[in-house]
Structure 1
């Protein structure tokens, strides 16, 4: 009972994550253009025809900028809270809108999506887990702190998209103005490399096969820096650093299979 996952893009220029089984899939956020989403899925051997729903974590533009065209073109239901919708300024009546509540699972085919609140400077921000039978994947980005709820859900995941937004020294000594530095590291902004590593080392379950480090800052982080930070602590977990410019390979995640490290190319609908 496998889930197939990929980051189509991850960063302040746009976020979009794909999680699905062989029949059904969901997108978490749609912060890249419809054309880019289609192109990147096609390169991976995936199709928009299997995407049954889009779940929106919060209203910031890097998470919704491509939503209207993408959901409108394919008439994909968009799951979004009332407060996020109110603050998003999305055009209404162009695609199906559905609501969700914290801690109430939603069934999309055989997938089960669970939302829970997170600390971020948005109207009603949420993180998500996607489950298929015993296999669970978490999407944990735009997080100010590793709260108890995040720890609980992270410790149950076979794979996780985990925010590593900034290196603390690079942010402190970088060119950002003081108010922006405080916004990023102030508890409702983003998770640092060091904070994410502490969560990973302390609460990673022994069965976690993949961790995808996500939402890296262009100015205050480096893929090589965060990779080197995590490498000594992985044990059997496969490390992937997502890109702000391209998709990752597709990874197979299963509660019953060893990690599949190669791209999966046989899922075209």
Structure 2
């Protein structure tokens, strides 16, 4: 199993995970054209996508979902809450409503959704498995919970939100105070230190890759995210991957 991020940040998010002939997209926050271009950078054709999953309805995660799913006939998996917050889907769309607590399978990949606290209707994050390796994804959550940590512990790879540095956020003169409170609130986004603390509570003995994701371009810096996560893992900062808005990441193998 392998994975890559097509891009990560407030302007658009998408992740691809692949096992055998199964290719899944998690979120589609880019236009149809941009998503195709970013898949091509990884050597993928859009027709290879076996299914598309959404974490929640915010536009930086859902912008291109309907068009991609409909154009390439990829089933779209979303929670009921996410569905009601989006525009009505076209009739030809293969829409599949999931329960945020129920595991399901898409061909060769087991998908384990789980709920998170975020300012969306029914947000979900995911753990992907091929039966041997596990990829855990956590972005767009205001804080951690025991259930989140039980889902992510023991993973072989993690994509973990490091949205902002608290000092940078709170001293940013362009952000009004209510927005700052929303971002750092219980239904907002994880800051570097909260992600560090979360990571330190997990069993990371099998961890082969970690990616700091959803970094704010105005309220964080890659070196701050790397420093925080490397301290939690007691590893070199160079071992921490950072997903960028423009480039995402290259392929990362779990085997």
Q: The TM-score by the shorter chain falls in which range?
A: over 0.9
Moved over 6 A (4+): none
Offset of 1:90 from its aligned partner?
A: 4.6
| Cα RMSD for the two superposed structures | 1.5
- The separation in 2 between residues aligned to 1:13 and 1:102, in whole angstroms, is 25
| Aligned counterpart for 2:41 among listed residues 40, 43, 46 | 43
In the alignment of these two chains, the number of paired residues is 252
Gaps of 5+ in 1: 255-269
1:120 aligns with 2:118: yes
| Aligned counterpart for 1:109 among listed residues 107, 110, 116 | 107
Q: Deviation per CA, 1:101-155, whole angstroms, max 9, x where unpaired?
A: 0221111112110111100000001111111011110111001101111111111
- The separation in 1 between residues aligned to 2:99 and 2:79, in whole angstroms, is 7
Taking structure 1 as the reference length, what is the TM-score of the superposition? Answer: 0.89
- The separation in 1 between residues aligned to 2:47 and 2:120, in whole angstroms, is 31
Offset of 1:156 from its aligned partner?
A: 2.7
With over 3 angstroms needed to count, the CA separation of the structure-2 counterparts of 1:224 and 1:94, relative to structure 1, is farther
| Aligned counterpart for 2:143 among listed residues 145, 148, 151 | 145
Taking structure 2 as the reference length, what is the TM-score of the superposition? Answer: 0.94
- The separation in 2 between residues aligned to 1:124 and 1:99, in whole angstroms, is 12
- The separation in 2 between residues aligned to 1:31 and 1:172, in whole angstroms, is 27
1:134 aligns with 2:129: no
Q: Which residue of 1 is the match for residue 189 of structure 2?
A: 190
Give secondary structure in 2 for the equivalent of 1:137. Answer: strand
Q: Which residue of 2 is the match for residue 267 of structure 1?
A: none
1:68/1:90 contact within 8 Å kept? no
Gaps of 5+ in 2: none
- The separation in 2 between residues aligned to 1:194 and 1:94, in whole angstroms, is 44
Q: Which residue of 1 is the match for residue 220 of structure 2?
A: 221
Offset of 1:94 from its aligned partner?
A: 3.9
1:31 aligns with 2:32: no
Offset of 1:157 from its aligned partner?
A: 1.2
- The separation in 2 between residues aligned to 1:5 and 1:243, in whole angstroms, is 15
1:209/1:236 contact within 8 Å kept? no
1:248 aligns with 2:249: yes
- The separation in 1 between residues aligned to 2:231 and 2:120, in whole angstroms, is 34
- The separation in 1 between residues aligned to 2:187 and 2:141, in whole angstroms, is 7
